[in-house]
Every structure is written in C-alpha cells, then in structure tokens.
Amino acid sequence: MKQKLLWLVLALTLAARAAALDAGTAYLPELRPEPQEARAAHMAAALLSRYHYRALPLDDALSGKIFDQYLKSMDPEKVFFLQADVDRLAVDRNKLGAAILKEDLAIPFDIFNLYERRVVERFSYARTLLKTGFDFERIESYQYARDKQAWLQTESAANELWRKRVKNDWLRLKLAGKDDKNIVEILDKRYEHLLKRIGLIKSADAFQIYMNAYTMAIEPHTNYLGPRAAADFDISMRLSLVGIGAVLTELDEYATIRELVPGGPASLSGQLKVGDRIVGVAQGEGGVMTDVMGWRLDDTVEQIRGAADSVVRLDVLTADAGPDGRHKLVTLVRKPISLKEQAAKSSVQTVADGNATRRTGVISLPSFYEDFAARQSRDPNYRSATRDVARLLADLKKQKVDSVLIDLRNNGGGSLLEAVELTGLFVGKGPVVQQRNARGEISVERDPRAGVAWDGPLGVLINRGSASASEIFAAAIQDYGRGLIMGEPSFGKGTVQSMIDLDQMAKNAKPQLGELKMTIAQFFRINGGTTQLRGVKPDILFPAFDDADFGESSYDNALPWVQIRAADYSPVGDLEGLLPILSTLHEARVKSDPDFRYLNEDIAAFKLRRKKNLVSLNEAERREERDLEEARLKSRKPMTDAGKAAHEEGVSQAPAAGLGSAAADDGLQADERKLTRELATEKRQKDAKDVLLIEAVRILGDEVGVLKSDLKLASRVKARSVLENMP
C-alpha cells in the first residue's frame, strides 16, 4: 500500500545525488548494471507474464507503460527533465521489454544516468542563487505540486522554476527568524549533504527503481525487493532481529542513536545513550575498526547487525563531545531483539455515562505481523498479531472492560492468515474472506476454530491508511454485524500478494537476486463485494484530511471494483436499529466539542491550501498569512492538547514546500533539527489527546448504555450469540 509513497520519497532522495558544490563540479561516475540484476529482471519477467493476477505479455504496449512509470518514479514533480529529454528518450520506449528478455539493462541505466546529469545541472544552478539572494518585495508565487503539469519546455523555464523553488526555501527560513548568513549556511549545507548521501547510491538502488517501474506498470501492489529490502521486510513481519537494540538516525553524516530498546545489549550495557554517534564498527574482539563516518545509514546498520552471541565493537563519539572530542570504545554481544514498539498494545479508556463509568479496552495494532518461518517450523512460541491480541483480550477481560476497540489506523496490512484468524477471535468459526485467482477460481478463507476471545460490544477504528488485511478484518466485522466501524473510508486495496524468493528459485546459497511481491488474487468480502477502490465505508464517519493522491483510487491502473456471489455465512448480530441512535448521540456531542470544531477548521484550511497549490514569494504577504494563522490558533482559548495535536497532524501531512501552517513552519528538514527537539516533538504528539480515539471510545460507551437500557434492542444486536460457537 505504501509503495507509491516509498518510491516518491526515494525519487526525491535520488534527485539530489548529483547536487554539485558549484557549477563547475564534474558529473558523478555513471552507474552500470550488475550481471545478477539482469538475471533477476529476466526471472521476474517470466513470473509476471505468466503467473500475475493481471498477466500481461512484455510487449511494446507494456514497455511504453514501463517507460512512463520509470520517468514518473524518478521525476514525479517534473522539475528535472525537459520535454526535449523525454522526446529523445522516447525513441527507446518500446524496447524495454525485449531488452529485459535479453538480460540487457543498458537502456534503463542510460536513462538513469541522463537523469543524474539533469539533476547536477538543476542543483548547480540552484546553488548559484545562494550567492545573490532574492527580492522579497516582488509580487510572485510558487506552484509546489507539479505532478499534473506538463514537462518543462525550455532551459529558461527550468531555471525560473528552480529560482522560485530556492526562493521559497530561503523565505521559509527567513520567516522562521533566520538571518541571511545563517540561511545561506543552512541551504548550502543541505545541498552538500544531499550530494554526499546520493553519491553513495549503488546500481542496486537504480535497478530497484526500474524494476518497480516495471511491476507497478502492471498493477500498483506488485513490487520488486532487492536483497536488503527483502531482509527488512522479513524483519517487519516477524518483529525481531539480531543486533544491539539501538535505533539509529543520520545527523550531520553521523549514525546517531535516537532510541535504545529496553532490555537490549546497548541499553543494558549502560555505555550508550541517545545522541551518541557511532563513527566506527569492528567485528569480533580483534577485528579491524572500519570508519563509517559519512556512510549510508543502512550500510552502517548492516555492519552492526550480525549473528546471535557474536561480538561487535563500536567507536563512539559521545553526545556531548565536539567533532574532535574524545572517543570511547564500546564492546557488545549481539542478541535477538524483539520490536515491541511495532507490536499490538492495549490500554483502558474510561468515559462517564451519567452515574456510570464505561470502560473500553483499546488495542492498537500497527500491522498484521507473523513470523512465517517460526510458524512453519512448528515453534510453539512463534510471534503473530492474533496471538498477541488474544493475550491482550484475556488481560482486558480480567480488567472487566465493557467494550473493546481495535485501532487499525495506518495499519497497511500484512499476513492474510492473520486477518482471518484475528477475525475469528470475535466471530468464531466461519468464512472471513473470499479469494479469486487469475483463473477465476474462488476459494473461501475461514477460521476453523469455534471459540471466541471477546463477545461483548466491539468497535473498529480505521482511516485512509488502513489497507489490505485491515480492510479484510473491518469488512468481515461489518458483514457479520459484529461491531461498529468508525473513522474514514479505508485505502481500497483488495488484492492479495505472494512473496517469491528469486534466490530460492535459482538455488543461490547467498541472497543476490531479491524477491518479488506479486499480486496473485483479488479478495472479496463474504457479502460478495470487494474493498478494491472503494475501501470499507465506516458506519460512523469522522472528519479527515482527505488526500486525493493517497489511496487505491489515486492509481490510474488499479483493478476495478467488481462483485461476486456472497459466501455462505450467517450474521452474528444486527446493528441496524442501534446505528441511528449512536449516530444521533455522536453528532450532538461533536457539535459542541471544541476539539472537533478545531479539527474541522484545520481540515478546511488544509484543503483550501491544497486546492490553491500556490504560495506567495512576497515576504509581506507571507508574514500576513502567518499572522492570520497565528491569530486563528490563539483564538482557541485555551488551545487544548487535542487541538494542538489536530493542528500538528495537519502540518505533518503537508509537503515541505510550504503547504502546512505557516505558524508552525521552521523551514528546516528533519535532519537539520536538533535531535532533542525532534524527540520532544514526537513525545508531545504521542502524549496529546487523540480526538478521534476518544470519540470512538465515547460511542462504544453510548452503545453499552443503550444496550443496558433497551433489552429488546440488545437482543437484536446480539441476534445469534457467538458463544454458541464455543465447544
């Protein structure tokens, strides 16, 4: 689901690879494909053209789509290539397919190298502008979103666009209180840092971008993962790795510790703290220390990870030391690390209902994770989302909660089996989802277990970021009449992917070829509909920062919405009579809730800025806009934590070009801020009241109260008790 955004971010990162220090800087050496990459492309093509759910021959038509997707992935905002470049490159647009089958990647790498040259030219020109400054009294504006615009026609048009782009960067810093000298230093350092980072890009990175242009030209959710990306995906599914238990970030070319995992070797040693910088890594007690200063962060992380119980030595520059400060040597033994922060968590929320207090158990589930290998090897303690949620439910029952809320916001999915088994915890034995493969054959996935873990009032909270397995679960709960779905319409991903290990197919001893995540089926609700394109529509809608460029409907080649015959299932409840009551109570409550009013105001302001798609480059106008925004926020007396959180959410969803609230814009990128400030901001957002979660809890509290007072309605809601399924 997140692949489109992933490649957008990677493309923007790649855009700086050739950022020169001045106009005379030489171009970077050209990248060339490795033999194993050409082989991986050929193997992937054989699989995609035969076994994909939407199998397409690698002919001229598909080659043209790959070409278009490739340019889009590199230059999505159309700020580097000129129309003349596109026209010249288009001579080879229909040759890409045949070249893959011949294991010849010369054309895509030539395109990528030309792209790098254009990036050098654009950033070199941009850097010259730092020497002259800008006239901020001039009346002009900058259009920051250009994905729907035409390619730049001339060099002068490109220069004008980049002049405005750099001017906007400068003005943002100026409005944040920086003086001209400081601004030049920040922007100069920014471009230099980008150059150094992107200068480390390898052929494998360019190849992965090209391969994903191929896979996404077929269908949005088929992707290629290189060996390192495949390893990271595996870690995200099993929620464990072997290492020292430190989360790193890159600051000023240092691999900097931003978090220590409790119970991990780094934390238990007492020798490391947040802000410490790792400048060298050595393997074993006597291994040679390797200087990792200026390395790619993932390369440094790979050096620190290793086999369980092995020794790694770190050369550390402490957080309070200057660049020439004294180093210290830290020796650690690698251990298995459980990624608990990415696992299911629970809490108990209470709301007052007259003289009664309603207790809701909230379970937040970030993904449908599962340790596939451990499960296949019959490890009795294998990790999975369903197992963790079952344990949390047992604990919540001991705490005598009245209702349970499953928070699936921004849960992009994961294991299909986990979605099926998790549904079973609430509906018992029965069908959960239908699958249709490329041959049109339909199968029904069901949980064979009869018992349930929770049979009381249930709610599911979703948003636009809830996708795939999240949608399977939410749709099944809705179709069974088992619980209330609240929030905003989900992503709309109704397809099933399978991971194919190319190295396993080639019988390679070591990872070289990567993996293919290929769409093999489409899933359907048990009522016969699908979540494809339309997503799951909540029973009770919440306000949302609608993003037209996010969700299945934003893809121009997404599979259509279709319907098949319903599965053989029986609803376990009927919420039809309850929903109007709960909706009325909800609407009356939020109408007088200041936090909801502030949230709606921020959403309206966000949509207006997005529709306008322009920012003024006149200092007086921008200051006036900022003052008006500050006045709007100050009018909230007092501004609640929830109001602040809603405001910050709106800012966080805005692109760096300046779409966010001017009152909160410091003009800096994340790696340009002090780590202490970044961590403090994250903590403030994490600790702030969650407006939507609180309202979802209140709605469940309403449900409990209504059902207790209306036994006739309660009997309809629980038409067929799921307890009947218990052995």
The set of catalytic residues is: 468, 479, 493
Number of other residues whose CB lies within 10 A of the CB of residue 588: 10
Are residues 108 and 247 in contact, defined by beta-carbon separation less than 8 angstroms? no
How far apart, in Å, are the Cα atoms of 332 and each of 265, 321, 350?
Answer: 6, 21, 44
List the Cα angle 139/140/146 in 5-degree steps.
170
Phi and psi torsions of 339, nearest 5°: -85, 75
Cα distance between residue 22 and residue 715, in whole Å: 75
For 163, residues 6+ apart whose C-beta sits below 8 A from its C-beta are 129
Residue type, 75: D
Cα distance between residue 148 and residue 260, in whole Å: 43
DSSP one-letter code for 434: E
678, 683, 689, 691 alpha-carbon torsion, rounded to 10°: 50
How far apart, in Å, are the Cα atoms of 131 and each of 118, 127, 137, 179, 181?
Answer: 21, 8, 18, 14, 10
Residue type, 725: N
Nearest to 103 by CA among 160, 42, 16, 62: 42
Cα distance between residue 232 and residue 234, in whole Å: 5
Are residues 60 and 94 in contact, defined by beta-carbon separation less than 8 angstroms? yes
Cα distance between residue 184 and residue 186, in whole Å: 6
For 706, residues 6+ apart whose C-beta sits below 8 A from its C-beta are 578, 581, 582, 713
675-679: long-range contacts at Cβ-Cβ below 8 A with a sequence spacing of 24 or more?
675/249, 675/251, 675/256, 675/258, 675/274, 675/275, 676/275, 678/258, 679/258, 679/274
